[in-house]
Amino acid sequence: MESYDDHLDRALDETPDIEGSDDRFEVPDAEVRQEGNVTVYENFQDALAELGRDGDHVLKFLQNELGTSAHIDESGRARLTGEFGRDRIEDALADYADEFVLCPECGLPDTQLEREQGAVLLRCEACGARSATSG
């Protein structure tokens, strides 16, 4: 007859480890270049694909974080007015991911943005948590 500790050990061995499973979530390094007074974010679409979010929402956040105006050109690149280094853009994207992609409860990127009574909520499909965002 197995003891409680034996059952517990077996259960823990069979439980999937969700710790660190957000390793599969990694925004690609920003490829940026200067074109006069404009910073062109070449692989913006790759970042959107990894974030799983709408380009306009991400671009609005970048504009607010960087204090600039921007638009998405016909090739899908983000064009930011002013000179911004790769690190500054990557820091802003990391902030975006923390607020609008990664679940504050379990840390996984399996989330969706939902609008409820005018508020934007982050709903986690992995753990079921719901949390408010800044918009």
Please tell me the distance from the alpha carbon of residue 47 to that of residue 53, in angstroms, as a whole number. 9
Token readout for 81 is 């007015």
DSSP SS3 for 4: helix
pLDDT of residue 20: 47
Query: What confidence tier does 4 reach under pLDDT thresholds 50, 70, 90?
Result: confident
How do residues 5-37 score in pLDDT, each as one tens digit? 886 777 777 665 555 444 567 888 999 999 999
Please report, for the chain, the start and end positions of each structural domain, with discontinuous segments joined by +.
29-101, 107-135
Q: Which CATH class is domain 29-101?
A: alpha beta
Question: Which residues, in sequence order, are bridge partners of residue 71?
Answer: 79
Would the CA dihedral through 39, 45, 49, 50 be positive or negative?
negative
Whether the full predicted model's pTM is greater than 0.85, yes or no, is no
pLDDT of residue 123: 92
Please tell me the distance from the alpha carbon of residue 51 to that of residue 58, in angstroms, as a whole number. 9
How do residues 44-93 score in pLDDT, each as one tens digit? 999 999 999 999 999 999 999 999 999 999 999 999 999 999 999 999 99
pLDDT of residue 23: 56
CA distances from 131 to 10, 66, 81, 104, 128 (A): 33, 25, 33, 8, 10
